Amino acid sequence: MAARNRPRAGPMKDDSADAHEERNMWNQIVNDLKRLKTIQTRAIEVSKAIVEMEAKMAEPPSLVQIDDLQDLYREGLKLAEEEQKILNDEPNDVIKNVGILTALRTASEIEPRNNSQSKSRNPKRQKLDTDGT
């Protein structure tokens, strides 16, 4: 017998696109979290420098000391704003993207269970089984 070439049942285009979209979203979240880690590390360094500088300030502080301290406070504020932007502003919006990704995962895990339950129940067969008794 000659074998017929049949196309294999692979993922549909929509499923494949959805999987790529989820993977891309996950990769974006991971990259944003890496950036946040770097920013957080620098913010810790800045806050330690502020504490050290304030402890070493003379009474009354000189203008140079005040300017240096002011620069550190500005850098700390800039870092905090950048963290906030990554966590809450589009297109990064890590918090929103994690929520979307969680919802997509939950929906994709629930869907196969619902399909298998509806396929296994055959209303005609149930009627036949109960009528014969």
Q: Give mean pLDDT, residues 77-100.
A: 91
pLDDT of residue 30: 94
User: Are 74 and 103 a contacting pair, CB within 8 Å?
Assistant: no
| Res 27 pLDDT > 60 | yes
Q: Rounded to two decimals, what is the model's pTM?
A: 0.65
Angle ∠(89,90,95) on CA atoms, nearest 5: 65
| Res 120 pLDDT > 80 | no
110: burial class by Cβ within 10 Å (0-12, 13-18, 19+)? exposed
Please state, in angstroms and rounded to a whole number, the distance separating the CA atoms of residues 60 and 30.
47
Which residue type, as a one-letter code, is found at position 130? Answer: T
